[in-house]
Amino acid sequence: MTFQRKSKQRGISFFGLIFVGGVLAMAGVIAAQVFPTVVELMAIQKAVQRAATGQSVVEIRSIFDKATEIDAISSIRGKDLEVTKEGDKVVVAFAYEREIHLAGPAFLTLKYAGRSK
């Protein structure tokens, strides 16, 4: 008579599967809300690069405001830009925050900043 040893079961329980699924679903919802802000950041960086070709502060802000209308940028305006000169080069910098409501009193705050090259 030979006895076979029972091997331990491996895997994830049903409740573990539900928990992992819930965590992945929440991460997916947050990622879906963050993605548009990243796309908007890239549009802002492109508009800042375009605006940095201007000669005066008024012209730079005007170029940026036109780009915000075209690209549907709502987080920042031309008056929020910081325009400086480094040597003979015009540098346009920006910084802003976006808040995403998660649940109840919880918010996700994203801080974005950048400058022209």
d(CA 35, CA 49): 22
| Whole-number pLDDT of residue 1 | 63
d(CA 115, CA 51): 11
| Whole-number pLDDT of residue 48 | 95
Q: The whole model's pTM is what?
A: 0.80
Each residue's pLDDT expressed in tens, for the chain with a length of 117 residues: 666 666 677 788 999 999 999 999 999 999 999 999 999 999 999 999 999 998 889 999 999 999 999 998 989 999 999 999 888 889 999 999 999 999 899 999 999 999 998
How many of the other CB atoms lie within 10 Å of CB of 45? 16
CB 84 within 8 A of CB 93: yes
Q: Both tokens of residue 9? A: 């079961």
